[in-house]
């Protein structure tokens, strides 16, 4: 597969560049676009992003490594990230994590064999008032219960 | 306080829509400010006594006055919506319920400091709220409040969102600057301070989202009016966040200095299962915790919290009932900091790991009696010895939990029956290696 931004993403990148006085500052938006398009940031993708912004690959790698939300490895189609920080922990987050882990038969950090689900433990996601909660790809699922999880996983398994 | 009217989270349906916001007098304060001199705006903010809501409580007007007036460099404003301190979830409420008041405050701040560009730094996980805020910004551009010749004036300013990508440390103001520049988000040495040398070496001010959302009301009703709300030394309303073992968790906007008991029992609906409180974190995970017996009559603002050796921080309150395992909670908090340390300073990088290791063995019943002292010792070696205040954030919860909940730690060490065996094995290994 040739690594190249779509026309639309190139336009979005140009727009992002116009927000900063220096184009290398558009690295973070560029990495977001790349992750959206390619799913994760492989070495080749990072090299491509570097070439397009005129940034050495090592700098791109340095930034990508620093931020946890940039994926340096492929992830499952549905990434379930359960917050286990204090407020969620007090509201039973670890039970939720174990429940999902048993249900999907994967440990934290693993992906199901069909590539449909990945399970992670997350730090506070700023949703402490609706604990326990998890992040599913870009969006939040709040006030979790076992029933809610059953329904969610059933829905996602079918899609 | 029954006559208190919320300043930010008003109970008006659809207030997040620009039409509704305008109908209720929205963007009037901006027009008023644009007719004032920038110095006058800063003076009004100084008069209000507003203190930053990002955690450090620094007086906002004073901060603005540090920006050089005469400079040929561009000036910047950064709005800090990183909101990653565990137990804090208030800025998200503003993005959702009242984005325009925050945008208006940002524009007034830009005018007061002569900045023509504002970046809103939002944590990457807040995807939904980034979308919501971007929509509000677009609407505001369309009505001519952002962009060229704002509201028919000679002043122009742009507002852009910069999406973070999962790094707590980027909430620290100088790390945030590096992140906007597209670099690794590691804190910078101070001095030079951002007001002189911020984004791309230009004068920059960093303010929290809630801080900025207060500005339109101050301009509209006057600094003096604002200074009379709540506690005089820390005036205004606060967006208190309640979480943990409470029946009605959520964000409550109330005057500063509201009684903690009132917050928990009246607004928060009391403690889950009606149990006594063991521990409370008053303002985000890094603030020194309180004991349940310290909260009677305690007012929630920065000055009053000092009487129990704590601070208001982000006003994110975590309530923990008598069943809570203090060591486990402190261990979980430390694990967070261990994960988030940027690693530049040795005391922070190594200290976080040591604290976590010691806490882990105490929690597992493998701790030694000396470990408790060792915890306090490691914590005090981090505090004050680092580039940024993250050092304090790691040290404080451990240091104060050990002080205030000593029996909990001692209990876990005493419970340990396998201790002599563990020590013996350890001793054997050491002898063997020698
Ligand atoms: C480790 C660390 C994390 C921080 N995180 C945040 C944050 O998420 N949001 C925020 O507004 N301020 C945060 N701050 C405080 C900022 O450095 C800065 O003081 C604040 O944004 C200034 O705004 P204010 O004066 O309006 O409060 C953090 C500070 C430290 C040391
Ligand atoms: S105190 Fe910790 S987070 Fe702050 S600069 Fe030093 S190592 Fe980084
Ligand atoms: S502790 Fe889980 S969202 Fe904040």
Q: In this complex, is the C-beta atom of A91 within 8 Å of any C-beta atom belonging to chain B?
A: yes
Mean pLDDT of all residues in A69-78: 96
| Separation of first and last alpha carbons in chain A | 26
Q: Give residue for tokens 């580039």.
A: B387
pLDDT tens for B41-53 read 999 999 999 999 9
- Distance of alpha carbon B189 from alpha carbon B172, whole angstroms: 12
SS (H, E, C) A101-144: HHHHCCCCCCECCCCCEEEEEECCCCCHHHCCCEEECCEEECCC
- Distance of alpha carbon B213 from alpha carbon B172, whole angstroms: 20
pLDDT of residue B206: 98
Q: What interface predicted TM-score (ipTM) does this complex get?
A: 0.97
Would the CB atoms of A131 and B245 count as touching at under 8 Å? no
Closest ligand 1 atom, residue B210 Cα: 26
Asked whether residue B91 carries a pLDDT value surpassing 90, the answer given is yes
Identify the CA nearest to B163 among candidates B239, B109, B70, B95: B95
Please state the CATH superfamily assignment of the domain spanning residues A78-158 in this structure: Glutaredoxin (3.40.30.10)
Contacts of B314 in chain A (CB under 8 A): none
pLDDT tier, B3 (very low <50, low <70, confident <90, very high otherwise): confident
Two tokens at A135? 């992040």
- Distance of alpha carbon B31 from alpha carbon B358, whole angstroms: 57
- One CATH from 1.10.3090, 1.10.10, 3.30.70, 2.120.10 for A7-66: 1.10.10
| Separation of first and last alpha carbons in chain B | 70
Please tell me the number of the ligand nearest to residue B168's CA. 1
**The overall pTM is greater than 0.90:** yes
Name which of B116, B124, B125 to mutate to probe chain A: the one with the most chain A Cβ atoms within 10 A of its Cβ: B125
- Distance of alpha carbon B121 from alpha carbon B106, whole angstroms: 13
Side-chain-side CA neighbours of residue B53 (13 Å): 31
CB atoms within 10 A of CB B66: 13
Q: What phi and psi, each to the nearest 5 degrees, are found at residue A136? A: -110, 110
pLDDT tens for B294-334 read 999 999 999 999 999 999 999 999 999 999 999 999 999 99
SS3 of A35, please? helix
- Distance of alpha carbon B125 from alpha carbon B114, whole angstroms: 31
- Pairs of CB atoms within 8 A across A/B: 137
pLDDT of residue B170: 98
- Distance of alpha carbon B274 from alpha carbon B277, whole angstroms: 9
pLDDT tier, B261 (very low <50, low <70, confident <90, very high otherwise): very high
pLDDT of residue B117: 98
Q: Find the B234 Cα to ligand 2 centroid distance in Å.
A: 28
- Distance of alpha carbon B354 from alpha carbon B329, whole angstroms: 17
| Interstrand relation of B258-259 and B250-255 (parallel, antiparallel or unpaired) | unpaired
- One CATH from 3.40.190.10, 3.40.50.11540, 3.40.50.10490, 2.60.120.380 for B18-227: 3.40.50.11540
CB-nearest to B86 from A25, A69, A86 is A86
pLDDT of residue B2: 59
Closest ligand 1 atom, residue B53 Cα: 27
Fold observed for domain B237-321: Ubiquitin-like (UB roll) (3.10.20)
Mean pLDDT of all residues in A41-65: 98
Task: Please name the residues in contact with B106: beta carbons below 8 A apart, sequence gap of 6 or more.
Answer: B77, B79, B118, B120, B159, B212
- Could you tell me if the CB of A83 is within 6 A of ligand 3? yes
Where do the domains of chain B lie? 18-227, 237-321, 330-412
pLDDT of residue B333: 98
Q: Find the B331 Cα to ligand 2 centroid distance in Å.
A: 19
Q: In this complex, is the C-beta atom of A85 within 8 Å of any C-beta atom belonging to chain B?
A: yes
Two tokens at B331? 């261990």
pLDDT of residue B426: 47
Mean pLDDT of all residues in B128-156: 98
**Do B149 and B305 touch, CB atoms closer than 8 A?**
no
pLDDT tens for B365-423 read 999 999 999 999 999 999 999 999 999 999 999 999 999 999 999 999 986 555 444 44
Identify the CA nearest to B196 among candidates B183, B205, B207, B208: B205
Contacts of A32 in chain B (CB under 8 A): 124, 163, 165
Mean pLDDT of all residues in B61-88: 97
- Distance of alpha carbon B75 from alpha carbon B195, whole angstroms: 9
Dihedral in degrees, nearest 10, Cα atoms B205, B208, B210, B216:
10
- Distance of alpha carbon B291 from alpha carbon B320, whole angstroms: 10
Identify the CA nearest to A27 among candidates B203, B163, B125: B163
Nearest CA, atom 25, ligand 1: B52
CB atoms within 10 A of CB B73: 14
Q: Which residues pair with B157 in a beta bridge?
A: B147
Mean pLDDT of all residues in A79-88: 98
Mean pLDDT lowest for which of A83-87, B174-178, B188-192, B429-433?
B429-433
pLDDT tens for B197-238 read 999 999 999 999 999 999 999 999 999 999 999 999 999 999
SS (H, E, C) B376-411: HHHHHHHCCCCCCCHHHHHHHHHHHHHHHCHHHHHH
- Distance of alpha carbon B271 from alpha carbon B327, whole angstroms: 21
- Could you tell me if the CB of B302 is within 6 A of ligand 1? no
pLDDT of residue B416: 56
Fold observed for domain B330-412: de novo design (two linked rop proteins) (1.20.1440)
Where do the domains of chain A lie? 7-66, 78-158
Asked whether residue B433 carries a pLDDT value surpassing 80, the answer given is no
Name which of A16, A126, A130, A140 to mutate to probe chain B: the one with the most chain B Cβ atoms within 10 A of its Cβ: A126
pLDDT of residue B432: 37
B237 secondary structure, DSSP code: E
**Do A114 and A159 touch, CB atoms closer than 8 A?**
no
Q: Find the B20 Cα to ligand 1 centroid distance in Å.
A: 31
């Amino acid at each position: 597969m040739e690594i190249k931004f779509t026309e639309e993403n190139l336009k979005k990148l140009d727009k992002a560049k116009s927000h900063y006085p220096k184009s290398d500052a558009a690295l973070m938006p560029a990495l977001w676009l790349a992750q959206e398009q390619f799913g994760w940031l492989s070495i080749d993708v990072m090299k491509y992003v570097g070439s397009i912004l005129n940034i050495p690959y090592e700098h791109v790698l340095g930034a990508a490594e620093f931020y946890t939300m940039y994926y340096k490895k492929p992830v499952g189609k549905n990434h379930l990230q359960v917050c286990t920080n204090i407020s969620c922990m007090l509201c039973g987050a670890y039970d939720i994590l174990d429940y999902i882990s048993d249900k999907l038969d994967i440990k934290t950090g693993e992906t199901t064999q069909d590539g449909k689900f990945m399970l992670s433990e997350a730090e506070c996601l700023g949703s402490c008032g609706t604990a326990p909660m998890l992040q599913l790809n870009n969006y939040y699922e709040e006030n979790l219960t076992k029933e809610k999880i059953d329904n969610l996983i059933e829905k996602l398994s079918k899609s | 306080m029954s006559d208190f009217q919320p300043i930010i989270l008003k109970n008006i349906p659809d207030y997040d829509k620009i039409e509704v916001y305008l109908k209720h007098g929205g963007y009037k304060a901006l027009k008023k400010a644009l007719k004032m001199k920038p110095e006058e705006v800063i003076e009004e903010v100084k008069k209000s006594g507003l203190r930053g809501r990002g955690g450090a409580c620094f007086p906002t007007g004073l901060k603005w006055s540090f920006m050089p007036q005469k400079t040929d460099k561009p000036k910047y404003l950064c709005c800090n919506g990183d909101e990653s301190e565990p137990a804090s979830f208030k800025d998200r409420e503003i993005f959702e319920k009242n984005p325009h008041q925050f945008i208006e405050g940002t524009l007034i701040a830009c005018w007061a400091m002569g900045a023509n560009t504002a970046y809103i730094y939002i944590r990457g996980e807040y995807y939904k709220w980034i979308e919501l805020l971007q929509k509000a910004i677009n609407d505001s551009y369309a009505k001519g409040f952002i962009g060229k010749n704002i509201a028919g004036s000679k002043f122009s300013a742009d507002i852009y969102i910069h999406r973070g990508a999962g790094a707590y440390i980027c909430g620290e103001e100088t790390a945030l600057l590096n992140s906007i520049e597209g670099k690794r988000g590691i804190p910078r040495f101070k001095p030079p301070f951002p007001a002189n040398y911020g984004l791309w070496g230009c004068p920059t001010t960093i303010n929290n989202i809630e801080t900025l959302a207060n500005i339109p009301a101050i301009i509209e009703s006057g600094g003096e009016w604002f200074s009379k709300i709540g506690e005089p030394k820390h005036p205004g309303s606060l967006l208190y966040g309640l979480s943990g073992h409470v029946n009605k968790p959520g964000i409550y906007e109330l005057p500063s200095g509201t009684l903690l008991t009132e917050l928990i029992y009246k607004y928060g609906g009391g403690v889950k299962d009606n149990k006594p409180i063991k521990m409370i974190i008053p303002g985000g995970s890094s603030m020194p915790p309180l004991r349940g017996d310290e909260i009677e009559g305690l007012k929630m603002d920065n000055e009053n919290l000092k009487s129990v050796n704590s601070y208001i921080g982000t006003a994110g309150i975590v309530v923990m009932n008598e069943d809570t395992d203090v060591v486990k909670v402190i261990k979980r908090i430390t694990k967070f900091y261990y994960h988030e340390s940027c690693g530049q300073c040795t005391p922070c990088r190594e200290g976080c790991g040591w604290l976590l290791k010691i806490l882990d063995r105490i929690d597992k019943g493998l701790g030694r009696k000396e470990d408790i002292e060792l915890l306090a010792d490691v914590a005090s070696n981090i505090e004050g010895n680092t580039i940024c205040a993250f050092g304090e954030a790691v040290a404080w919860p451990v240091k104060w939990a050990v002080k205030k909940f000593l029996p909990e730690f001692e209990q876990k060490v005493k419970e340990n029956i396998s201790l002599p065996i563990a020590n013996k094995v350890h001793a054997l290994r050491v002898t063997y290696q020698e």
